Structure 1
Amino acid sequence: MSQASSGLLRWMTRKRQLSEWWGKERPQLVNNMLARQHAAPRICQLCGNNPAVICCSDCRPQPYLCGQCDIRVHQRQVFHNRDLMTDKFFHPLPPTTCVLDSVLTHCERLVPLEMPDKVCNCLRSSVIAGQSIAVVTMNGRYDLRLPQIKCEACEASWSPELGDLIRSDSFRQSFLEWEAARYEVDKLTREDHFNCPACSPDMLAVSVDGNRKLYRFKTAARSEEKAIFDGVFIANDGDVQRFVDYIHTATNHVSGRGVCGGHWSAAREMSRKASGKTDEEGLELAVCRHGVLLRALNMFRGEIFAYPLYLQQQMASKAITFFAMDVACKYWPYLQKVAEKCPELQHLLDMRPFLSVFHAKAHDFMCEVKWSGAYQEGAGSTLGEEVEQCNAFLSRIAVTTKHMSKAGRTDMLTVMGMRWNQQKINHLSSTLTRRYQKTTVALEEQLQNLEAMKIQMGITDDQLESWVIDVKQWAGGTTSPTDGAVAAVASRIEDLVASVKRRSQFLYKDSDGSKQRARMRRKIREEKAILTSVVDKYNSMVEQEEQLNMDDILSKSIVWPWQLKHSDVVGLATKRKAFDAAMAVKRLEEEKRIIIAEMQKHWRDLCGRGATLDQISQLTVTGETLGLLEDGLKGLQSLVLKKKKARRTMEEHVKKMYMKILTDTGMNLSDHSDSEEEYGGSDSGQE
């Protein structure tokens, strides 16, 4: 064995042993984390007389302070992390809040800056609070005041410049282990990080797409350590590979073929690795229509159909109405053929295909009408593009994760996903409220536009409905030129147009470097040149009224001449305009009903969360240890009290938001009263 191989083996052994040691110590870490949540009554460690009301995590070794000592110490140490402990749990306090006579009081705090000794020779200068400023550090935002020195006699003054402001360069050690312990604590309080409260128990739509920027180099750190969050968010690679092998064996690599033209790269079931330099080629994500991350898996062979099929099968335990993809028109025929070979997957066909609304613009109009979510009954204003927002967020750390070990990359992406979901869930009530308000305004505008269009065209409601049916029937059929030679050229045009539009649309999504984008642009130019020659050939084979224009077929969603029914009295373009207006009104009407239902689900989830916390609290009181030591159990009791209060605050906020706009909808948000013991009426089990 070479010296390099021997060194690599020793390093991998040390990494494995280190991972095993951390695994053994993790239960103790969880217990210690919970023990720190126990806010037991204490005496001030500075004066030794008064009861402690503040715990400062930065004042070591004497963190417990009374109100007077807290003011004296933290008048200058404004960036210390202080917690109020009067409610038997720790509640974070901003630096501008202090405790006077057991009452929370506002106080001015100055940014700690180096200041001049004097600004004049009068010796009557004093430091006063100047301009308000928000100081943002890695610990959060601090609303402070800039110090200002002013002389009462000569009115000379000094104010800090930008260069005088303080900067923070602290660094948290053992970040992932700290996150792992926090995740275990969250499991004890039964928090689900990858579940949307507004989509439970049934879900309207799931959007699935791949992120090719989250790849990882083969030459990155290699070790045998197991990811801390393996299978929590990103599926286990072995499970995915076994599923893919089973599908390929059972179906003999059946590939999907949709109605629209174009061989999209996402539709290649026989896709090979894009580069020999990468291990994982990206991440396949599944999110709900509110942008909450649900599941993910690592891609090793591009965006083959078996990957979204695995995610669909994993989430099939929930009642999901729509399954959204950017190539749903190709994926669904593939799924139908797979279900024939694998009967246990037949239930996946209970979902309905949903072509992402914006991606549908790169398909021809016949495909768009048949598959696009904008024309799906019951879909509301769902876009199917929600996964793109998540991709943009996770891609921020792609420059780092591509050099990480397999376990480190999995853990970091999972932590990022949990923080993203927490932010989404915290703002869910505001999001749903704004969406309802915007939908109401948009519906009024669309109704006015529809009425104006009906007057302009001179049509009745029955005629409009007839046109809508005509467009749907037209999209449901298959049309092609009767001449075989013309049909072959037409098919080639469809393929090239779809390919050019797709490459242009995904130019920045599928590439993370200028060299790769340059190659894609060169390929687009080559395909446009081929398309020009094929269009010229087609135009020479057909009548003048059926000829194509290059600018039109690339700049907008086109209806191909061979798809038109020349016997229609009213042109398809006119019917399409009426069809789009009618569908927009229907989708907005559905969206209002959908949002109201989601608000009710969110409210029920909040109320159910209160019942869950009550159950956990009861377990701790009745002597259930939950695998914790005594101090950890007391910390869990305090943490439950803290979460109860946070839930109550959230409940009041959500109710206020929803009832403000839903007074006329008949939506019932019944009061959810808490027991007297919730905020410390009983301290059984706590000393």
Structure 2
Amino acid sequence: MDAVNKCSHLAHAGNDMELKPYIHNFFGKGEQEVADLEKKGCLDSIKSFKQHTSLLEGDDLEVSNCGSRLRCAREGSKATTMYDVNGLLGATCAHGFALPDLFCNMRRSENFTFYLVLLKHIVKECPSVKHVYIDFGCRLAKTWTWYLQALDKELPPSAVDLRIMVNWMHAASHDMSCQLENSGRFQKDAGFVVGEQSEQLWAMTKDPSSLMRCMTLQNRHDSVECLLSDINDLKLARLVLVLKAKMDSMHKKLAELDQRLDGIQAESNAAGIHDLHAAAQEFLGTQFAVSPTLSERPFLEAEYVRLREMDIAVQKLQSIGFSWKEAGGMSPAALLLRGSTHKEQRELQAKLTDLEIKLAISPDSVWTVDSNDYTRGFKLLAEQQILRYQSAIDVIVHELNKVVTRALIKSTTLQKLAVGSIIVIQ
């Protein structure tokens, strides 16, 4: 969910014509409620809206300790004289489609009230919604909690479980502790929905927005409705083509695999092998039986322990992203850079599997951290690291000696030149 100021409307443009809009696909109940709130004077501040919704006067709606200074992250706003509509606010699905009945005109500057109204209609119309991305969700979440108290019996019980998160890109401007607590990038079960689909939608409204400012309010209303419908139709057509291409690619790959499987089965039948599963188990057994030489085994054991330690560290990084609320002793920049670790973990698992085959470590007897094999490998790894550091120190000392020697030679040469100059002068 997001707002945009592009599709605004000049206050004195076309007001002398009393026309009514014809299309009502995207401007629904939320738009009507916002219009009613404007007539009652409840859009100027969260306090006026609080009185309208019968929240307790003593409720503290100061929402978050996040230090971000987003211009839109404010509880109230001031009325403007130049525009009677400051822009649009609306919601999209995870695929970027504009959602019907979930758009409204911002009759004031962007503030919490518009978001609270649309959130209410979202949970009403679709109680199964679990996640909502908002640029300043960290600051809006507590206000939403208070709003739920005022609408106790009006909303479904699932509204309490709605999780308001901050979009990935916008979260980068928030405090590190806020990112870990509220950014969808670090939230468990949030998936890989970056939450910037609304920004993509607003980018498509840029070209006609300058024309809409000078239309009558009714014609602007219908123009926005048509624009959103056209964008959805174009997205749908493109999505169908993409899915069809993906399906064709999958069918082609499946046919290739079936062809390869038929060839393997034909070869196995010709060789008298009819149970492929048993043959595969026998093949793995022969692979485990091939052990490395005595000279290379210690190095493989040390490498195996090193990769296991890296795998443990990557898993800890993932758990940090899901559970930490403070940056702790880790560098925030390093934490963000290591935030997405799935690819690295897959690569580590592939290398570990290869070493397990070479070291004859079966899946049922993988080394645990407290096992004797792991301890032996860890000691070998430590010895290798010490030797590596000692070699690095020797190289540095050698380079230092070369520098000192060159400095002494240069100093001796300068002394000889100085003595020669003194003799010549005398």
Query: What TM-score comes out, normalization by structure 1 length?
Result: 0.36
- Check whether the contact 1:220–1:405 (CA below 8 A) recurs between aligned residues: yes
- Check whether the contact 2:10–2:85 (CA below 8 A) recurs between aligned residues: yes
Deviation at 1:437, TM superposition (A): 12
Aligned to 2:172, the other structure's residue is in SS state helix
Quote the residue 1:313 is aligned against: 120
Aligned to 2:309, the other structure's residue is in SS state coil
Q: Where in structure 2 are the equivalents of 1:86-97 lying within 5 Å?
A: none
Quote the residue 2:97 is aligned against: 292
- Check whether the contact 1:254–1:334 (CA below 8 A) recurs between aligned residues: no
Change (3 A) 1:585 1:285: farther
Quote the residue 1:326 is aligned against: 135
Which deviations, in whole Å up to 9, do the C-alpha atoms of 1:533-570 show, x marking residues without a partner? Answer: xxxxxxxxxxxxxxxxxxxxxxxxxxxxxx544xxxxx
CA distance in 2, matches of 1:581, 1:460: 15
CA distance in 2, matches of 1:584, 1:323: 27
Selected match of 2:84 from 279, 283, 291: 279
Change (3 A) 1:436 1:331: farther
Change (3 A) 1:221 1:471: closer
Quote the residue 1:266 is aligned against: 72
Quote the residue 2:407 is aligned against: none
Q: Where in structure 2 are the equivalents of 1:26-175 lying within 5 Å?
A: none
- Check whether the contact 1:271–1:301 (CA below 8 A) recurs between aligned residues: yes
Aligned to 2:67, the other structure's residue is in SS state coil
Change (3 A) 1:415 1:331: same
CA distance in 2, matches of 1:219, 1:212: 17
Return the structure number with greater strand share.
Answer: 1
Deviation at 1:239, TM superposition (A): 2.1
Amino acid at match of 1:424: K
- Check whether the contact 2:68–2:175 (CA below 8 A) recurs between aligned residues: no
Return the structure number with greater helix share.
Answer: 2
Quote the residue 1:338 is aligned against: 147
- Check whether the contact 2:176–2:332 (CA below 8 A) recurs between aligned residues: no
* 1:383 to 2:194 alignment: yes
- Check whether the contact 1:256–1:332 (CA below 8 A) recurs between aligned residues: no
Deviation at 1:585, TM superposition (A): 7.5
Aligned to 2:192, the other structure's residue is in SS state coil
Change (3 A) 1:282 1:574: closer
Structure 1 portions without partners, runs of 5+: 1-207, 439-453, 478-562, 566-570, 587-687
Deviation at 1:209, TM superposition (A): 0.6
Deviation at 1:354, TM superposition (A): 2.0
Change (3 A) 1:267 1:573: closer
- Check whether the contact 2:187–2:322 (CA below 8 A) recurs between aligned residues: no
Quote the residue 2:215 is aligned against: 404
Query: What TM-score comes out, normalization by structure 2 length?
Result: 0.56
Change (3 A) 1:574 1:365: closer
Which deviations, in whole Å up to 9, do the C-alpha atoms of 1:204-250 show, x marking residues without a partner? Answer: xxxx1111111111110012211111x42123644224468484322
Change (3 A) 1:259 1:397: same
Which deviations, in whole Å up to 9, do the C-alpha atoms of 1:67-116 show, x marking residues without a partner? Answer: xxxxxxxxxxxxxxxxxxxxxxxxxxxxxxxxxxxxxxxxxxxxxxxxxx
- Check whether the contact 2:28–2:103 (CA below 8 A) recurs between aligned residues: yes
Deviation at 1:398, TM superposition (A): 1.2
Structure 2 portions without partners, runs of 5+: 43-47, 250-303, 346-426
- Check whether the contact 1:214–1:401 (CA below 8 A) recurs between aligned residues: yes
- Check whether the contact 1:329–1:355 (CA below 8 A) recurs between aligned residues: yes
CA distance in 1, matches of 2:336, 2:50: 43
Which deviations, in whole Å up to 9, do the C-alpha atoms of 1:568-625 show, x marking residues without a partner? Answer: xxx4459726851336779xxxxxxxxxxxxxxxxxxxxxxxxxxxxxxxxxxxxxxx
CA distance in 1, matches of 2:342, 2:209: 39
Q: Where in structure 2 are the equivalents of 1:437-448 lying within 5 Å?
A: none
Change (3 A) 1:341 1:298: same
How many equivalent pairs are there?
Answer: 271
- Check whether the contact 2:186–2:321 (CA below 8 A) recurs between aligned residues: no
* 1:225 to 2:19 alignment: yes
RMSD value over aligned CA atoms? 3.3
CA distance in 2, matches of 1:359, 1:437: 36
- Check whether the contact 2:317–2:339 (CA below 8 A) recurs between aligned residues: no
Change (3 A) 1:392 1:380: same
CA distance in 1, matches of 2:248, 2:75: 43
Which deviations, in whole Å up to 9, do the C-alpha atoms of 1:630-671 show, x marking residues without a partner? Answer: xxxxxxxxxxxxxxxxxxxxxxxxxxxxxxxxxxxxxxxxxx
Pair member with larger Rg = 2
